[in-house]
Structure 1
Amino acid sequence: MLDKPDDLVDEYKGVILVVDDTPNNLNVLFSYLRAAGFKVLVAQTGKNALKSAEYSKPDLILLDILMSGIDGFEICRQLKSNSVTKDIPVIFMTGLSDSINKVRGFELGAVDYVTKPIQKEELIARIQTHINMEKLRNSLVKQNAMLQQQAEQEKLLSQLSERIRDSLDVNFVIKTAAKEILQYLKCDRVLISRLDNLYSYIEQQVVQPGISEIPQDNIAHKYFIKDREEKALFLRGEIKAIDDIEASNLDSLSLNNLQHFQVKAALTIPILFKSDETDGVLAPRTFFLWGFLTVHQCSTTRQWKSEEIQFIQRLVNQLAIGIQQGRLCNQLSTANKELKQLALCDSLTKVYNRRFFDEKLIQEWNRLRRIPSPLSIIMCDVDCFKSYNDTYGHHAGDKCLRMIADAIANTAKRPADCVARYGGGAFVIILPYTPARGALKVAEAIRNKIKELNIPHTSSSVSSAVTVSMGIAGSIPNSDDNPVLLVEAADHALYLAKAQGRNREQIYIHDIAREKSRKNSQLLWVKKLRKALDENKFCLYTQPIVPLNKDNDKIHYEVLIRLIDDNGKVLFPEEFLEVANLYSMMPRIDLWVIDNLFNYLSNAKFSNWDNICFSINISGASLNDNQFLKYLYQKFLESSFPPHIFCFEITETIAINNLSQASKFIKSLKSLGCSFALDDFGKGMSSLTYLKNLPVDYLKIDGSFIREIHTEPVTKAMVQAINYLADAIGVKTIAEFAENQEIVNILQELKIDYAQGYFFGKPSLIDSTAFPILKAAC
């Protein structure tokens, strides 16, 4: 069905401006958002984005960081410096995953990040959340402004006496007014009562000596108002003056009530507020009847003079202004509290939000620097939370986060402790007056508390229940360091905790000042990698993967990458891949490998591909990049190579953390004829769970098993079990780190299909001489 034109759509959930210089990205995002019921505006350049934002004033801006010309950070800065667009929420789209870029984005005013490739459900959920928050914020701000304006108007119009005018305490205003009226009129009793549903409540009562007070119990409405007609008169501001109750036309019940309290004469003046409400069948009223000022003369009858009544009327007007001013002040205070709560707390988990954390950390750092005393923080991340959302849905994911936030807040509960949501499934805890070792005990208590929750997580690579990983960093604040280094140190410790298997705590053992040099080193590596890509300073190596079955003559070669530095030294991947992953450079490196392998094979002019296969490693970033998959498709279309000669390797960890995307990626390339290998198999605790969801062709048994296979019987049994499983599901096995004849003999005994290691050949520079099968076919 064709989409309705914009002017025919009945209602939109909101207007979204999407800024991206890649047309394919715009098309995908446009379809996601339109399908979700949003009106979508697009801009491919920063200049157009700024113009469109100022002209259209969208509800939210979805902004790509890496754009040609003006990048996303600069666009955001200009948006936030423009009074017209500064309050529009900005969500960054990026492949960048490091803390520095995230911190920079939040400092510029972004409200959130979504990581490429964009997940539709997550994107829609985040957009809807921030639109709702912005609507609530605008509503509160608008209400705040309106209340402030009304309070100011009422204050200017107020002609209360000096004591009344100087107070916003409603009780004080009422008490002061009652006393002044009693003194001026020299009457016996003054009542100020408030109407509420069917009863009237005496807010203030003053009497002359010797005059009894009316009890403070609830008084029925009809004590003041006989019927709807009388109420209508009061709403019009009419005053009820009785000079002598005995000579009045009061009904017997009202007369008996007044006589019971020795009333001889009475004056009742309505206290009215302006209002747009309606009252039942009555027409829309212009006043709201708050209550009454009632004056009693008990000693004798009294003829109420017109000038007395006029004065009391003016004073009641002042009283009404004072009461309403106090009410507005209370409402304003409540609105400010709600606004402050919205600004400081995470709407989902009710713990503090990232903005408050940033402010609180600086505040605590400066405070403890003066004392000085230790300050620690804990970075806490829910293990495999993306898989949890994929498995159980975002509603269950939100509930899970709320439970975890409660568990953390109930553990770190000292008055000075601060628990905040850092983003996604991440939380952060500030622990003043706490060294790192003390923070470790808190982290252990948090992890045990979450373990006790026993939240099921069948798709976790760590446990059958939800677990968390935590990084801890502590320091005694000083003028040489800054709190950002403390965050980065804790984040690095969290990275190490995940790398060691998750579901654990890790302390940053170095001085946080070391983070400066580590960051500087990373940035130098980024420059070096960019230069290597631009100047083609990488090179390809291959290592044979040899069949152990004599009936199998098909040889695989794993394609490896090396970097040649300016001095001609060959650098191994371990030296630069971590930085490449951190700064989202892996897709470019993966493409470089594929392009250069294809170029090499084209120039070599091989003709026989029957018994050869090249294994290419794919990073998690490339796996999640739909453009990468499209590029591969195009590459196969443009080349004459049969797809079956290519096997793509993904690590078990990458596959588990991106299960649905990994399955989709594998199926897409297998449909062309490519094969897949699951690398480092056996590292995770839930490997068997995932095999049924990943249509791989090979299991590469992790080298940690193979190294010990000839010395550890248990390890040998585990390898044998993996091979049995693989054989049962029709998957071939490859053993890594086959270093000597003894290991190879055991692998053959266990009927492992392939082996790779120094026993069969070290990695060597790619060359036709490295491929005897291909050389013979040239």
Structure 2
Amino acid sequence: MNHKSAESSLILVVDDETFIRMQLRMCLEREGYRVVEAENGRQALSIYSQTHPDIVLLDALMPDVDGFECCEQLQTIPEGRYTPVLMITGLEDQVSVDHAFEVGAADYVTKPIHWAVLRQRVRRLIQQAQLQKELEIANRELQRLVAIDGLTQVANRRRFDEYLEQEWRRMAREQQPLSLLVCDLDYFKPYNDTYGHQAGDRCLQQVAQAIGNTVRRPADLVARYGGEEFAVILPNTDAVGAVQVAEAVCGAVRALRIPHRTSRSDCHVTLSVGIASMTPVPHSSPSHLLANADVALYQAKASGRDRFVLHVSDPKTPEAPSPIFPAIS
């Protein structure tokens, strides 16, 4: 570890003997570390929560809360699982060593302390913890990238499929409605032919952003369904709520005023939207919901585009709204 990273590392030293704490502080500060101290396990837990050190040097044998119990309790603090604990013990028997690792210690040194060994183990554990944090950050970013459509920066088809299945199961358990919008840009092929593929990409980006800015609940998901199609998953949303979202989405896209002189329905880019809403039953799949939304989208396009249609499975059911075909002016 270089001197700069050593200076940025904070070490919590926990020991009930003042002289041992003083020795540890002097040794560690010579290496460029910052040090905070605790004289018992209970105090250590309080100081840990306030300072979030990079490593804990923990005496095993202390009155009241000993090092083993303190280490175990550290693992219950969210950040504590990622902070290495170096146990300092006068016990070298196999049972004590095994116990130290069982409660979450990353390593141990024995008393009397061999200072060269301590220095190397502290350095190695801090480096490993830093690498682990960097790896987790990189993995989170990778997971985000795997779930995002590169062009439009909304969820991709893979994430859409996963989330629809997840929310379908959740709504089945809770017996709440799940709604789906499938949105298609009207006359997008002529748009690409007229304005070029770069303009087409910019159009998709603007539309995705407009939909995303309209659909703002944390549980809702906007995804690029494929090509010029987008989909919106609306958990805990009935047909009436889904119609309101569809109306807002169509309005947001029209408000962009993206010129489209080859459109047969308007001189600007517009959307056709199919809406489906169901309360899932256990041990079923969302394929029927998808099929209904696709049928509604087909009806919207066949009826002149620039509109949304709500699919109704059983028009005789009193709760089921009638299909809606509003031309948006």
Give the TM-score normalised by structure 2.
0.64
| Equivalent position SS for 2:224 | strand
Query: d(CA) in 2 for partners of 1:477 and 1:207?
Result: 56
- Please tell me the residue identity of whatever aligns with 2:176: S
Q: Gaps (5+ residues) in structure 2?
A: 1-7, 39-112, 316-329
Q: Which of 279, 285, 300 in structure 2 is aligned with 1:476?
A: 279
The reply on whether 1:186 has 2:23 as its aligned counterpart is yes
The reply on whether 1:334 has 2:137 as its aligned counterpart is yes
Query: d(CA) in 2 for partners of 1:179 and 1:395?
Result: 68
1:258-314 deviations in Å (ceiling 9; x for gaps): xxxxxxxxxxxxxxxxxxxxxxxxxxxxxxxxxxxxxxxxxxxxxxxxxxxx93222
Contact 2:265 2:305 in 1 (8 A): yes
Q: Which of 116, 124, 127 in structure 2 is aligned with 1:313?
A: 116
The reply on whether 1:413 has 2:216 as its aligned counterpart is yes
Query: d(CA) in 2 for partners of 1:178 and 1:401?
Result: 61
The reply on whether 1:488 has 2:294 as its aligned counterpart is no
1:443 CA displacement: 0.3
Q: Which of 180, 197, 201 in structure 2 is aligned with 1:394?
A: 197
Q: Which has the higher contact order (CA 8 A, sep 6+)?
A: 2
The reply on whether 1:377 has 2:180 as its aligned counterpart is yes
- Please tell me the residue identity of whatever aligns with 1:370: R
1:395 CA displacement: 2.1
- Partner of residue 348, structure 1: 151
Query: d(CA) in 1 for partners of 2:221 and 2:140?
Result: 19
Gap change, CA 1:425 and 1:182, over 3 Å in 2: farther
| Equivalent position SS for 1:376 | strand
Query: d(CA) in 1 for partners of 2:16 and 2:140?
Result: 34
Query: d(CA) in 1 for partners of 2:284 and 2:117?
Result: 65
Gap change, CA 1:497 and 1:206, over 3 Å in 2: closer
The reply on whether 1:443 has 2:231 as its aligned counterpart is no
Query: d(CA) in 2 for partners of 1:464 and 1:193?
Result: 73
- Partner of residue 459, structure 1: 262
- Partner of residue 659, structure 1: none
Between the aligned residues of both structures, percent identity stands at 44
- Partner of residue 204, structure 1: 34
1:390 CA displacement: 2.0
1:159-203 deviations in Å (ceiling 9; x for gaps): xxxxxxxxxxx967x334999997277377455599xxxxxxx75
- Please tell me the residue identity of whatever aligns with 1:204: R
| Equivalent position SS for 1:317 | helix
Contact 2:14 2:37 in 1 (8 A): no
Q: Which of 159, 166, 171 in structure 2 is aligned with 1:368?
A: 171
Query: d(CA) in 2 for partners of 1:389 and 1:178?
Result: 71
Query: d(CA) in 2 for partners of 1:511 and 1:364?
Result: 23
Gap change, CA 1:188 and 1:368, over 3 Å in 2: closer
- Please tell me the residue identity of whatever aligns with 2:154: V
Gap change, CA 1:476 and 1:406, over 3 Å in 2: same
Contact 1:417 1:431 in 2 (8 A): yes
Which aligned pairs between 1:86-235 and structure 2 lie closer than 5 A? 174-176=11-13, 183=20, 186=23, 189=26, 192=29, 204-206=34-36
1:41-75 deviations in Å (ceiling 9; x for gaps): xxxxxxxxxxxxxxxxxxxxxxxxxxxxxxxxxxx
1:339 CA displacement: 1.7
Gap change, CA 1:444 and 1:179, over 3 Å in 2: farther
Count, aligned residues: 236
Query: d(CA) in 1 for partners of 2:177 and 2:293?
Result: 15
Q: Which of 312, 319, 327 in structure 2 is aligned with 1:509?
A: 312
Contact 2:15 2:21 in 1 (8 A): no
- Partner of residue 403, structure 1: 206
Gap change, CA 1:430 and 1:207, over 3 Å in 2: closer
1:352-406 deviations in Å (ceiling 9; x for gaps): 1111111111111111112211111000011111222222222222221121111
- Please tell me the residue identity of whatever aligns with 1:417: D
1:444 CA displacement: 0.5
Gap change, CA 1:188 and 1:317, over 3 Å in 2: closer
- Partner of residue 160, structure 2: 357
Query: d(CA) in 1 for partners of 2:220 and 2:305?
Result: 25
Contact 1:475 1:511 in 2 (8 A): no
| Equivalent position SS for 1:395 | helix
Contact 1:189 1:207 in 2 (8 A): no
Contact 1:471 1:492 in 2 (8 A): yes
1:511 CA displacement: 4.3
Query: d(CA) in 1 for partners of 2:284 and 2:115?
Result: 68
- Please tell me the residue identity of whatever aligns with 1:510: S
Contact 2:215 2:222 in 1 (8 A): yes
1:671-705 deviations in Å (ceiling 9; x for gaps): xxxxxxxxxxxxxxxxxxxxxxxxxxxxxxxxxxx
Gap change, CA 1:203 and 1:480, over 3 Å in 2: closer
Give the TM-score normalised by structure 1.
0.28
- Partner of residue 138, structure 1: none
Query: d(CA) in 2 for partners of 1:486 and 1:458?
Result: 34
- Please tell me the residue identity of whatever aligns with 1:466: V
- Partner of residue 70, structure 1: none
Contact 1:447 1:468 in 2 (8 A): yes
Q: Gaps (5+ residues) in structure 1?
A: 1-169, 195-201, 209-309, 513-778
Q: CA RMSD in A?
A: 3.2
1:470 CA displacement: 0.2
Larger Rg: 1
